[in-house]
Structure 1
Amino acid sequence: MKADKFKGIFPAFYACYDDEGEVSEERTKDLCQYLYEKGVQGLYVGGSSGECIYQNLEERKATLKYVAECLKGKLTLIAHVGAPATRDSVSLAAYAAELGYDALSAIPPIYFKLPESSIYKYWTDIMDATDLPFIIYNIPQTTGYNLSMNLFKQLLENKKVIGVKNSSMPVMDIERFKAEGGEEFIVFNGPDEQYVSGRLIGADSGIGGTYAAMPELLLRAEEFVSAGKFTEARKIQRDINDIIIALCSLNGSMYSAIKEVLKLNGINIGSVRAPFEEVTGEDLDKINGIKEMIDQAILKHGCKVSAIN
């Protein structure tokens, strides 16, 4: 396993629907091509941003298939296969392996408060389903479980565990996971609001739900961090955070707001699925202002508009 293939900017891929709210092959591939041309290093497919909890198994498999058909071998593809039932996660894992994904990932079991022995077995059952490497997904604010160091150490004994996507807010968690995992272990920063600080304290890469709305800014932030230009990195993080706050300030799902921004960029991937709410009315009128914030920040920080001509 070459760790470098898992380093860089990995947008969390959005659910792409047609006008009737069904998963769209055409629109999924449009978004794939759009992000590929922006120069991102990989995609995280089927996670929270992909509205996985609101889709059935066949819809999730369809998205995995369409993305693989478009970008297999071009970008590093990570399939999120977490589901309420282990058997569904195992089915998604096996399908992702067939499609040629580079790695698997999964949230812990949701809804029921389970002992760590159950969480350990859930993740291990997924890993046993394929030969693919595995990336733990720690997002306690939505799952209700915060990965403990005790369970983390147990999981590290499995050679398939190559990384963790850490979305807990304390930046120290990233430092602790990196320290315990070692130099070759990949830690992905999860909270977009702290990408720069996450990288400085130990994260190797980033996976984020707002990246695809402004990939140019995250790629530029990574350039600054990698070059040791920390003053510039802090400035671009400030602008990224202003944009995130604006995206979250509307009456409607943040993903709905992002999809409206993408429409203004010529990428129509539909709306969101209930119970997510659409941005409507006066709030919809504010989308132009958010896009303008993104465009101005891209110019301000000298970002590349597209990596591929």
Structure 2
Amino acid sequence: MELEKFKGIIPAFYACYDDAGEVSENRTKEFCNYLFEKGVKGLYVGGSSGECIYQNLDERKATLKYVSETLKGKLTLIAHVGAPSTRESVILAKYAEELGYDALSAIPPIYFKLPESSIDKYWSEIIDSTDLPFIIYNIPQTTGYSLSMNLFKKMLENKKVIGVKNSSMPVMDIERFKACGGENVIVFNGPDEQYVSGRLIGADSGIGGTYAAMPELFLQAEEFVSSGNFTDARRIQTDINDIIIALCSLNGSMYSAIKELLKLRGLNIGSVRGPLEEVSGEDLFKIEGIKESIDQAILKYRR
């Protein structure tokens, strides 16, 4: 398996809706082209940022289709296929394979607290349903399950398992997964707030929910890390974190704030789907200040 295509800045793709709140083909494809022109390495489609748990199967398939039609062969495309049931997850996995995606990924099962044997079986059935490589998605703060080293080692016995998207907050988790998997496994940094530290301690790449809001800054952060310029890497991470904290300080969903921010950057991909709450009132004016912070940071680090 050629792993280089998975190394770089890979934004988590946002759900794109029309003004009536339905998945929009035109806006999805516009967003694809926007990110392609920014120079990102790939896209992670249908995950948390894609509001997957609030969409039905047909809507999720539509987004996978629109992204593939626009960017297949141009960017690395990873399809997140985690769903409430194994049956739905397998349907999405097979569909992503038909569309030409480069890899699959999935969170563990949600809602019921299941034994680890059930999580193993869930992931394994998804993996066995296609010939695509698979990336484990570890995000315990939302799923309630923290990937154990024992299960990680067991999953790696399947050669189609090529990595883990680790969104747990302790940066040591990245180091441990990398130490276990070695050079034949890709470890993706999940928490955007620790991109630089995650890369330094072992992450090979990054998939993040705020990358698409400010791709220029994460691309620059990666350049600083890969070139060994750790002073500027630390500085840009501080600026990134100030922006993320500002986005999360508003009333309403962070994704709503990001979508309003993208409108100010010239891209309308709609709003968010309930129960995610829209940003409104005075917070809309605060987003103008956040955009200004992003613009200033881009200029600050431009070479």
The bucket for the TM-score relative to the shorter chain is: over 0.9
Residues 106-164 of structure 1: per-residue CA shift (max 9 Å, x gap): 00000000000000000000001100000000000000000000111110100000000
Cross-structure match for 2:114: 114
Which consecutive residues of structure 1, in runs of 5 or more, have no partner in the other structure? Answer: 304-309
1:286 match: secondary structure: helix
Cross-structure match for 1:167: 167
1:158 match: secondary structure: coil
Determine what percentage of the aligned residue pairs are the same residue. 84
In the TM superposition, residue 184 of structure 1 has moved relative to its aligned partner by 2.0
One-letter code of the match for 1:79?
A: A
Cross-structure match for 1:211: 211
Structure 2 distance, partners of 1:192, 1:289, is 20
Q: How does 1:195-210 map to 2 (within 5 A)?
A: 195-210=195-210
One-letter code of the match for 1:47?
A: G
1:77 match: secondary structure: strand
Structure 2 distance, partners of 1:190, 1:154, is 22
Structure 2 distance, partners of 1:113, 1:265, is 41
Residues 250-275 of structure 1: per-residue CA shift (max 9 Å, x gap): 00000000000100111100000000
Cross-structure match for 1:279: 279
Residues 78-132 of structure 1: per-residue CA shift (max 9 Å, x gap): 0000001000000000000000000000000000000000000000000011000
Cross-structure match for 1:54: 54
2:165 match: secondary structure: strand
One-letter code of the match for 1:94?
A: K
Normalising by structure 1, we get a TM-score of 0.98
One-letter code of the match for 2:268?
A: N
Cross-structure match for 1:306: none
One-letter code of the match for 1:20?
A: A
One-letter code of the match for 1:19?
A: D
Structure 1 distance, partners of 2:172, 2:265, is 36
Q: How does 1:225-304 map to 2 (within 5 A)?
A: 225-302=225-302
One-letter code of the match for 2:103?
A: A
Cross-structure match for 1:141: 141
One-letter code of the match for 2:9?
A: I
One-letter code of the match for 1:278?
A: E
1:296 match: secondary structure: helix
**Within the alignment, does 1:151 sit opposite 2:151 as a pair?**
yes
Cross-structure match for 1:124: 124
Structure 2 distance, partners of 1:291, 1:184, is 39
Residues 12-53 of structure 1: per-residue CA shift (max 9 Å, x gap): 000000000000000000000000000000000000000000
One-letter code of the match for 1:85?
A: S
Q: How does 1:175-190 map to 2 (within 5 A)?
A: 175-190=175-190
Normalising by structure 2, we get a TM-score of 1.00
Q: Which moved more, 1:36-45 or 1:280-289?
A: 280-289
2:183 match: secondary structure: coil
Off by >2 Å, runs of 4+ in structure 1: none
Structure 2 distance, partners of 1:22, 1:128, is 32
**Within the alignment, does 1:97 sit opposite 2:97 as a pair?**
yes
Cross-structure match for 1:192: 192
One-letter code of the match for 1:182?
A: G
Cross-structure match for 2:63: 63
Which consecutive residues of structure 2, in runs of 5 or more, have no partner in the other structure? Answer: none
1:182 match: secondary structure: helix
Structure 1 distance, partners of 2:53, 2:300, is 37
Cross-structure match for 1:23: 23
Structure 1 distance, partners of 2:152, 2:41, is 26
Cross-structure match for 1:78: 78
Residues 215-250 of structure 1: per-residue CA shift (max 9 Å, x gap): 000000000000000000000000000000000000
Residues 181-231 of structure 1: per-residue CA shift (max 9 Å, x gap): 011210000000000000000000000000000000000000000000000
Cross-structure match for 1:33: 33
One-letter code of the match for 2:180?
A: E
Residues 273-301 of structure 1: per-residue CA shift (max 9 Å, x gap): 00000000011111110000000000001
Structure 2 distance, partners of 1:117, 1:287, is 45
